Amino acid sequence: MYKFIIKIIAVIMISVLFIDSGIDKILNFMKISDGLHTKILFNLLPLFVSQISIVISILLELISPLLLLFGVISNNKKYIIAGTLGLIIFTTLATIFYHPLPKQKNAFIKNMSIIGALLFISAN
């Protein structure tokens, strides 16, 4: 029971990070879409590609933590894997486009730590 409670607390704590970010993207949709449109690769494509990418990011950031939490509560490994995979994909892409080395070393390392925590949660 102790491990179960700790795991739920860990999942809630990491989920807050993503859910808050997803809500922020909804509230600042155009600003964030415009910002993504300035990044390498996206600046070569029409703005709607950046907008669709942000919508996908929002969905990953809002749905994946809920899948993860549901999976932990119900002890359903498929939901845990789906939730962590969605968050790992999002975090990896965000790291590549927004926090490249060497400019964003601290943010890069933080994101790698988040991915490590997600892998740990999915493995236990």
Per-residue DSSP letters for 48-105?
Answer: HHHHHHHHHHHHHHHHHHHHHHHHHHHT-HHHHHHHHHHHHHHHHHHHHHHS-TTTTH
Contact in structure between 32 and 47 (CB atoms under 8 Å): no
The residues, any chain, with a CB within 8 Å of residue 49's CB and separated by 6 or more, are 42
98 or 9, greater pLDDT: 9
Task: Give residue 1's pLDDT.
Answer: 85
Orientation of helix 105-123 relative to helix 77-98, angle to 10°: 170
Task: Give residue 102's pLDDT.
Answer: 86
> Cα(66)–Cα(45) distance, rounded to whole angstroms?
32
Per-residue pLDDT tens digits for 6-65: 999 999 999 999 999 999 999 999 999 999 999 888 999 999 999 999 999 999 999 999
> Cα(59)–Cα(64) distance, rounded to whole angstroms?
8
Task: Output the pTM of the full model.
Answer: 0.89
14 or 124, greater pLDDT: 14
Per-residue pLDDT tens digits for 52-93: 999 999 999 999 999 999 999 999 999 999 999 999 999 999
Q: Is the pLDDT of residue 101 over 90?
A: no
- Give the N- to C-terminal CA distance of the chain in Å, as an integer: 14
> Cα(33)–Cα(39) distance, rounded to whole angstroms?
10
Map out the domains of the chain as residue ranges.
2-123
